Amino acid sequence: MASPPVRTRSRLAPDERISEIMAVTRQLLSEKGYQNVVTSEVAERCGISEGTIYKYFDSKRELLARVAEEWFEEILGADENPPPGAGIRTRLRQLVWKGLSIIRQEPSLSRFVLMELRSDPTYRTMRIYELNRRFTARIGDLLQEAVSTGVFRADVSVRLLRDMIFGCIEHRTWAYLRGEGDFSVDEAADGITNVIYRGMLMPGVQDEGASPQSKTKR
Amino acid sequence: MASPPVRTRSRLAPDERISEIMAVTRQLLSEKGYQNVVTSEVAERCGISEGTIYKYFDSKRELLARVAEEWFEEILGADENPPPGAGIRTRLRQLVWKGLSIIRQEPSLSRFVLMELRSDPTYRTMRIYELNRRFTARIGDLLQEAVSTGVFRADVSVRLLRDMIFGCIEHRTWAYLRGEGDFSVDEAADGITNVIYRGMLMPGVQDEGASPQSKTKR
Amino acid sequence: MASPPVRTRSRLAPDERISEIMAVTRQLLSEKGYQNVVTSEVAERCGISEGTIYKYFDSKRELLARVAEEWFEEILGADENPPPGAGIRTRLRQLVWKGLSIIRQEPSLSRFVLMELRSDPTYRTMRIYELNRRFTARIGDLLQEAVSTGVFRADVSVRLLRDMIFGCIEHRTWAYLRGEGDFSVDEAADGITNVIYRGMLMPGVQDEGASPQSKTKR
Amino acid sequence: MASPPVRTRSRLAPDERISEIMAVTRQLLSEKGYQNVVTSEVAERCGISEGTIYKYFDSKRELLARVAEEWFEEILGADENPPPGAGIRTRLRQLVWKGLSIIRQEPSLSRFVLMELRSDPTYRTMRIYELNRRFTARIGDLLQEAVSTGVFRADVSVRLLRDMIFGCIEHRTWAYLRGEGDFSVDEAADGITNVIYRGMLMPGVQDEGASPQSKTKR
DNA sequence: CATGAATGAGTCTTCATTCAT
DNA sequence: CATGAATGAAGACTCATTCAT
């Protein structure tokens, strides 16, 4: 092992320190999952003492929750509006694509939010709950609209459709995470949209046709 | 005097002991989830000492993994054959229903396999991996057959379809676990089958029609 | 520092270990007071690891409380009955003497019970509370009897008299602890009894006269 | 625009700063007791940094000790002289009343002095020791005078009488602190004075009679 | 061979004190 | 000179694992 790197007592502005701690924690969360993030390792990677973490965060839980929130906000912030006058299919694809790419970009963090935080008794009171809810609601609203306007059949619940979409997104992503095969956001978005749209389209309604991929292509 | 009915310090054959430990662990896993299974409690419930567990299992992880394997095998073993001559839709629904009911019945164990074990670096070498693969493969094979025989379109990958199915199953189940809404295996199986089947059915091919629920019910 | 004393993993029967831990804790409590008893030192003095303590006690608090209880019971157990037909003065002196000698023998433990435990929110539910109450009640009852039978005046509350007695006992003992002067249980018992008895004796009632010291001496 | 009413970073003279720190600490000590006074809170309430405290005080202990000293001095300073020509009983009651009301008014501070500081190895060298001693000495001197002039008997040591008085005061106050029953300074002062005075009065000496309460009543 | 007492590395958290800026 | 970011040693407590009996 190398001699310690000068061990100069680093001194940062609070904001920078907070950022650093959160960045390191995000990374760690990404690598190991919530239960396995340990304060001592956060401190070590930051090159600070454990005590310093507690200067800025009341508890490990708070730290993790804030990391998740920040990240979620970051991602959901960048929101394109749907093209005006776009049909159900186009708008559905856009949302599915967004969901896929979110998880694709930060899969372990997704997992943390989706699996760990969501089980927290106070989850419902956290800001991240609201952020999360807002996104799923957009898909739910779109599906509801499709049913209400007679574009979609009414024989499968909106609830189940939402589960199919998010379930597929999550499943696909985790498989990717575990190194199982490749994963194209565009292809997956197309596939999901196609199956759901065609599977739900009311007989007799004109199919919008697949939206040209280029529209949402990154 | 009659011999005391006292449960004398049980002296079980190794196989029985192993069975008992695994049964107790399964119960515990089911109640509390992987991270919260503690060896001391396993020992206590078995009425044995902690040390004894280590006579039969190298580590907690190994114990848990074997429990999961046994359980999986048990469940996948009880396999009704599809009715001879059944169509794609009927067979698809049967498999989806099976997957849903497995997770529905033993959600904590599922979660353990799905979330914890699957992340294990050696997961691919575990027998449970093979068992798991075998089940998903059956769905994969069915879907592949549907595509090959021209019943399903070829514009969505079998892979993605499988993800939609399993993702939805898991997603639905976890939501249920967290107390979000009710969950009917039959309704979900119908919904998933409908969307996938209708969404993938090759234009021009005759729809089998929804199979009467009674066929696979319960 | 000397080389570690053979560091042989000692192995004791649970009862012995528990006794040892409690004995060591009693000693430590005696030396430093509740707040300053640290689990690591208990372990070190026992020559065991900290974990072992927690095999036998759920928490530090529980350990300390049990130490106090055991000790109290030990002391209050050895209870001489008052000589039959003894007057107020004799019986008062006997109780005062007992109280003094209890604290004299184990002053730091007394202090722990009196000062720390007594502030515990759950103190009232502890067994030690009952033990303690029983002793103070005996003095209270005696004083009440004296007032009721017209031996004592009624112009000072029983409550205050009890406080004078116990307050004096505690005060005297702590001073002693801090090394302030000597402290004779007999002399103090006589003094307290004299002042209280003479100070409260109803005018016109015949003074029993000081009981000969030899009766309760040592 | 008017200059902002913003409390600019206060730039106090050292003396004022010291006063402020001590005042805040006294308040905190009074609220929470010694062990629970934390330097960070002192700093926060003063609107200064933690480091600054250490500019003026070597350690937390020193700060606390000086607070106690100042407070004690303040209290003992405000001393009414006994009415000229007052008898033993009157003067005794006055002192007892004083002692009771001191503790009654500032129980947490008393407790700190009585329980924590007094155990300090260097207690005897602290100024507070001297202050404390001076007050107890006044009672001691009075009792001594009573004995020397033949008003009090000589069969109980002055030492013990002092302990009865202070012990009772402390005991009564702590019970009150723990919420056990009410506590009247006047009643307690009367009771203590009565018992001690009557209990010690030399036979044949004329009882001064209870001093009218109004004399020392607040 | 089973036991179960003991371990010890590790967990999160607290706080009086220091020192570079 | 005051600051306040950082420290680090200590606190109670947990639990998978070991090994002498």
Contact C63, C50 (CB under 8 A): no
Predicted local distance difference test score (pLDDT) of residue D213 = 47
Contact D61, D82 (CB under 8 A): no
C55 touches chain D (CB under 8 A): no
CA of D51, C1' of F2: distance in angstroms: 8
Copy the structure tokens of residue D184: 């009247």
Selecting from A160, A170, A199 the residue whose C-beta is nearest the C-beta of B199 gives A199
Predicted local distance difference test score (pLDDT) of residue B211 = 53
Instruction: Check the CA dihedral D194-D195-D200-D206 and report its sign.
Output: positive
Predicted local distance difference test score (pLDDT) of residue D86 = 86
Q: How far apart are CA A78 and CA A80, in angstroms?
A: 7
Cβ-Cβ contacts under 8 Å for A174 (sequence gap 6 or more) = A107, A111, B118
Q: Which residue spans of chain B are classified as CATH 1.10.357.10?
A: 71-215
Q: Determine, for residues C170 and D167 on separate chains, whether the beta-carbon distance falls below 8 Å.
A: yes
Top pLDDT among D16 and A33 is at: D16
Q: Which residue spans of chain C are classified as CATH 1.10.357.10?
A: 69-215
CATH of D71-203, one of 2.60.40.10, 1.10.357.10, 2.60.120.260, 1.20.140.10: 1.10.357.10
Q: What is each CA distance from C38 to B77, C26, C60, D190, in whole angstroms?
A: 56, 12, 8, 44
Does residue D201 have a pLDDT over 90? yes
Q: What mean pLDDT comes out for the span D154-165?
A: 93
Selecting from A157, A167, A175 the residue whose C-beta is nearest the C-beta of B171 gives A167
The C-alpha angle with vertex B123 and arms to B117 and B125, in degrees rounded to 5, equals 150
Across chain B, mean pLDDT equals 83
Copy the structure tokens of residue A186: 């565009």
Q: Write phi, then psi, for B150 (nearest 5 degrees).
A: 80, 10
Q: Determine, for residues C163 and D175 on separate chains, whether the beta-carbon distance falls below 8 Å.
A: yes
Top pLDDT among C172 and B88 is at: B88
CATH of A69-215, one of 2.40.160.10, 3.40.50.2300, 1.20.1250.20, 1.10.357.10: 1.10.357.10
Q: Which nucleotide is nearest to B17 (CA to C1')?
A: E2
Does residue B7 have a pLDDT over 50? no
Contact D106, D30 (CB under 8 A): yes
Q: What is the pLDDT of residues D78-130, one digit of tens each?
A: 666 667 788 999 999 999 998 888 887 877 777 778 777 776 777 888 888 88
Predicted local distance difference test score (pLDDT) of residue C169 = 84
Q: What mean pLDDT comes out for the span B69-82?
A: 76
Predicted local distance difference test score (pLDDT) of residue C9 = 66
Å from B54 to nearest chain A CA?
Answer: 24
Band of pLDDT at residue B79, cut at 50, 70 and 90? low
Q: Which nucleotide is nearest to A46 (CA to C1')?
A: F6
Residue with CA nearest E6 C1'? Answer: C52
Nearest in space to B76 (alpha carbons), one of B132, B22, B29, B24: B132
Q: How far apart are CA A139 and CA A132, in angstroms?
A: 12
Top pLDDT among B14 and A15 is at: A15
Q: What is each CA distance from B194 to B24, B188, B190, in whole angstroms?
A: 40, 10, 6
C window 20-59: Cβ near strand E (< 7 A): 47-52, 55
Contact C41, C28 (CB under 8 A): yes
- B189 conformational bin, left if phi > 0, alpha if psi -120 to 50, beta if neither: alpha
Å from C122 to nearest chain D CA?
Answer: 12
Predicted local distance difference test score (pLDDT) of residue C22 = 96
Residue with tokens 């205050």: C160
Predicted local distance difference test score (pLDDT) of residue A149 = 96
Q: What is the pLDDT of residues C22-35, one digit of tens each?
A: 999 999 988 887 77
Top pLDDT among C53 and D73 is at: C53
Mutate to test the interface with A, among B163, B185, B200, B213 (most CBs of A within 10 A): B163
Give the ranges where chain C is alpha helix by DSSP (H). 14-32, 39-46, 50-56, 60-77, 88-105, 107-111, 127-148, 158-177, 185-200
| D33 burial type by CB count under 10 A (0-12 exposed, 13-18 middle, 19+ buried) | middle
D window 23-82: Cβ near strand E (< 7 A): 36-40, 50-51, 53-54, 59-61
- The DSSP result for C127-182, as a single string, is HHHHHHHHHHHHHHHHHHHHHHTTSB-SSS-HHHHHHHHHHHHHHHHHHHHTT-S-
| A217 burial type by CB count under 10 A (0-12 exposed, 13-18 middle, 19+ buried) | exposed
Predicted local distance difference test score (pLDDT) of residue D4 = 43
Contact C42, C21 (CB under 8 A): yes
Contact A142, A134 (CB under 8 A): no
Nearest CA in chain B to A188: B160
Predicted local distance difference test score (pLDDT) of residue D54 = 94
Does residue D211 have a pLDDT over 90? no
Predicted local distance difference test score (pLDDT) of residue A117 = 78
Q: Which residue spans of chain D are classified as CATH 1.10.357.10?
A: 71-203
Percent of chain D with pLDDT over 90: 43
Residue A149 CA from chain centroid, whole number? 29
Contact C109, C30 (CB under 8 A): yes
Does residue C1 have a pLDDT over 60? no
Q: What is the pLDDT of residues C126-167, one digit of tens each?
A: 888 888 888 889 999 999 999 999 999 999 999 999 999 988
Residue type (1 letter), A94: Q
Contact B40, B60 (CB under 8 A): no
Predicted local distance difference test score (pLDDT) of residue C86 = 84
Q: What mean pLDDT comes out for the span B70-93?
A: 81
Pairs of CB atoms within 8 A across A/B: 104
Please give the class, per CATH, of domain D14-57.
Answer: mainly alpha
Least confident range of A82-86, A90-94, B126-130, C78-82: C78-82
Instruction: Check the CA dihedral B192-B196-B198-B204 and report its sign.
Output: negative
Predicted local distance difference test score (pLDDT) of residue C80 = 63
Low pLDDT (below 50) residues in chain A: 1-7, 213-218
Copy the structure tokens of residue B160: 């993605």
Q: What mean pLDDT comes out for the span B170-197?
A: 85
Copy the structure tokens of residue D47: 């609107």
Band of pLDDT at residue D144, cut at 50, 70 and 90? very high
Q: How far apart are CA D116 and CA D135, in angstroms?
A: 19
Q: Which residue spans of chain D are classified as CATH 1.10.10.60?
A: 14-57
Contact C131, C69 (CB under 8 A): yes
Copy the structure tokens of residue B215: 């066929």
Is CATH 1.10.357.10 what the domain over B71-215 is classified as, yes or no? yes
Nearest in space to B131 (alpha carbons), one of B102, B107, B104: B102
